[in-house]
């Protein structure tokens, strides 16, 4: 079986001392920021990407990925113990997890959340290993027309499915695409929107945009609306779930993992939607729905599995097609590019160590989180006592050092400050910044493929409709728009995300 050979190769990469260390570091950092409210994986990954230059691309990706899924674990810990979702995906976990904690069953809730997440992680690792190569092989046949249509579909879907105003999301995608055109045009050598500033000739760095908008802008917003929250930490008590707990949880865990995997490959749907859907399903099929909201373990098991599965399966389109399905994946893609790896289906054949090493490391990382997190819960919750006024200067400092180290040039910092202000304005106007980041990262590739496709078709725009695969993507794009605009669904969508 080829899949086992590949996985064994992946283990040989992921188990190297260096990669294990970065996997551990990533998981640790991820849990940390997952626990701390006010800083998310997106800002952290953006902040740390520049300092991964000094390590190998495989180790860098392994660490950044660890931050991403580690944050899901951390987020659920605080959701259960203090009713404070560290990450948006953990909002649902608060409902029953915190109730369990108040009944003195925080231990089993945490244990089930960790077990469910680990199971979901295992399922997703297998799914990626099984389907990844097939998707990449298919994508190798893609020409520029197919790629353009695929990116179009990805961007439209991400904007329409993401939570928030659809029209504004689409406008933000366009905004991102436009920002992506800044700098020297590869085809003609023209400097676009550079205003004779030498530093802008290479375009705007994606780290600058991401840190500015997601770290700086967020902090300004947080400082404006400072919320005082009294932290009541529930006692953990015994960790082990009873056999009844395990029996009740097994179904939700399996369903949650599959549901999360499904939502995971869809662009735009964050882990929050996966976990919410899982909660709704468990509540619906439960024999006694009234238990939900009063400490039903199913309400922890399902959503926790779902959000971890979603987080992990988001890697499928990123690694096999080079198309990010979320803001965080756009950053991962950017990190790949910074390390000189051209994203797309060729990653699997040209850098098998990266692909398989990363996938297996995610499984190892999940195992580490399962083993390490439960004993460390005391440390994590004590971190919650660190006040935000001491936390955010640290975030700013690390962001500044990271950005300065890009080119050892203060210009990037000036630009970051500017994007901080812009990002804050966007937040005030309720314009979601994540779709912008997707457009920004994909923009240059999209323009390039559009140009090439039209050059090859001698200027005939029908090329996007005459190539069968491209036509499929275009139809899917139209379908997404039509379905999402349908009034009935719009209302339901509002219920889920609003």
Enumerate binding residues for other proteins (CB under 8 A): 51, 54, 167-168, 170-171, 174-175, 177-178, 181, 185, 187-188, 190, 192-193, 216, 219-221, 223-226, 387-390, 392-394, 396-401, 404-405, 410-414, 416-418, 420-421, 424-425, 428-431, 447, 450-451, 454-455, 458-459, 461
CB of 188 or CB of 243, closer to other proteins: 188
Residue 161 C-beta: closest distance to other proteins, Å: 18
Closest CA to 93 of 78, 111, 105: 78
CB of 212 or CB of 256, closer to other proteins: 212
CB of 227 or CB of 287, closer to other proteins: 227
CB of 124 or CB of 158, closer to other proteins: 158
Residue 424 C-beta: closest distance to other proteins, Å: 6
CB of 190 or CB of 232, closer to other proteins: 190
Residue 205 C-beta: closest distance to other proteins, Å: 14
The span from the CA of 48 to the CA of 401, in Å, is 10
Within 8 A by CB and 6+ apart from 123, the residues are 257, 258, 261, 309
Residue 55 C-beta: closest distance to other proteins, Å: 9
Phi, psi (degrees; rounded to nearest 5) at 183: 115, -175
Residue 389 C-beta: closest distance to other proteins, Å: 5
Residue 393 C-beta: closest distance to other proteins, Å: 5
The span from the CA of 401 to the CA of 483, in Å, is 45
Size of the chain in residues: 498
CB of 250 or CB of 405, closer to other proteins: 405
Residue 308 C-beta: closest distance to other proteins, Å: 29
Residue 400 C-beta: closest distance to other proteins, Å: 4
CB of 54 or CB of 290, closer to other proteins: 54
CB of 57 or CB of 264, closer to other proteins: 57
Beta-bridged to residue 192, according to DSSP, are 183
């Amino acid at each position: 079986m080829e899949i086992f050979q590949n996985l064994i190769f992946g283990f040989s990469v992921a188990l190297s001392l260096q990669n294990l260390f970065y996997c551990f570091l990533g998981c640790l950092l991820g849990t940390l920021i997952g626990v701390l409210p006010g800083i998310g994986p997106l800002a952290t990954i953006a902040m740390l990407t520049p300092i991964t230059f000094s390590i190998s691309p495989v180790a860098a990706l392994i660490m950044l990925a660890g931050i991403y899924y580690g944050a899901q674990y951390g987020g659920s810990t605080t959701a259960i113990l203090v009713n404070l979702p560290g990450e948006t995906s953990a909002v649902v976990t608060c409902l029953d997890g915190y109730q369990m904690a108040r009944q003195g069953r925080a231990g089993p809730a945490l244990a089930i959340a960790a077990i469910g997440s680990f199971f979901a992680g295992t399922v997703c690792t297998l799914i990626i290993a099984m389907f990844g190569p097939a998707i990449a092989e298919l994508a190798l046949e893609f020409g520029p027309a197919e790629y353009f249509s695929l990116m179009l579909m990805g961007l439209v879907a991400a904007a329409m499915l993401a939570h928030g105003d659809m029209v504004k999301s689409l406008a933000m995608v366009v905004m991102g695409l436009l920002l992506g055109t800044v700098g020297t045009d590869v085809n003609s050598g023209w400097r676009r929107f550079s205003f004779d500033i030498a530093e802008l000739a290479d375009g705007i760095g994606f780290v600058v945009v991401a840190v500015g908008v997601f770290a700086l802008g967020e902090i300004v917003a947080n400082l404006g609306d400072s919320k005082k929250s009294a932290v009541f930490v529930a006692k953990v008590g015994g960790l082990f779930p009873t056999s009844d707990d395990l029996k009740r949880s097994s179904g939700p865990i399996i369903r949650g993992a599959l549901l999360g995997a499904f939502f995971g490959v869809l662009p735009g749907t964050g882990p929050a939607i996966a976990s919410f859907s899982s909660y709704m399903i468990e509540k619906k099929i439960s024999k006694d729905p009234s238990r939900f909201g009063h400490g039903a373990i199913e309400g922890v098991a399902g959503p926790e599995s779902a959000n971890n599965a979603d987080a992990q399966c988001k890697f499928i389109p990123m690694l096999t097609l080079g198309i990010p399905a979320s803001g965080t994946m756009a950053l991962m893609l950017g990190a790949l590019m910074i390390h000189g790896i051209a994203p797309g289906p060729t990653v699997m054949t040209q850098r098998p160590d990266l692909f398989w090493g990363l996938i297996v490391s995610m499984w190892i990382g999940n195992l580490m989180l399962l083993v390490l997190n439960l004993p460390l819960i005391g440390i994590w919750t004590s971190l919650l006592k660190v006040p935000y006024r001491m936390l955010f200067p640290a975030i700013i400092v690390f962001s500044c050092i990271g950005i300065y180290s890009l080119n050892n040039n203060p210009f990037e910092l000036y630009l970051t400050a500017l994007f901080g202000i812009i990002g804050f304005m966007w937040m005030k106007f309720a314009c979601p910044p994540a779709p912008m980041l997707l457009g920004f990262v994909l923009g240059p590739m999209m323009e390039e493929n559009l140009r090439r496709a039209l050059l090859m078709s001698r200027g005939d725009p029908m090329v996007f409709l005459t190539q069968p695969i491209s036509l499929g993507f275009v139809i899917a794009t139209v379908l997404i728009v039509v379905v999402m605009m349908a009034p009935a669904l719009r209302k339901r969508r509002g219920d889920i995300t609003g």
